[in-house]
Amino acid sequence: MSMDYVQRKFYLPKDVYTQLGMLAQDEGKTITAVLRDLVGDGLKQKKKKNSMRKLVEVAKQARKQ
């Protein structure tokens, strides 16, 4: 399966970049690969939180009725 990529430019604090570099080295990956993994995992967590929040809202509405 082929992925399409978008190139973006953004700035990171030096300490964050240093931590990314150390993590990449520890995991035997590039900084880019580590960033992709971290962003992907973060988006999955956000999606789960939003889904849970919506479920709680639906449950509250059902209780009111």
For the whole model, what pTM was predicted? 0.70
Tokens at residue 50, please?
């939003």
pLDDT of residue 60: 76
Q: Which residues have CB under 8 Å from 43's CB, separation 6+?
A: none
Task: Tell me what percent of the residues of the chain surpass a pLDDT of 70.
Answer: 98
Pick from 36, 6, 4, 9: nearest CA to 20 = 36
Interatomic CA distance for residues 19 and 58, integer angstroms: 40
pLDDT of residue 59: 76
What mean pLDDT is predicted for residues 25-29?
Answer: 98
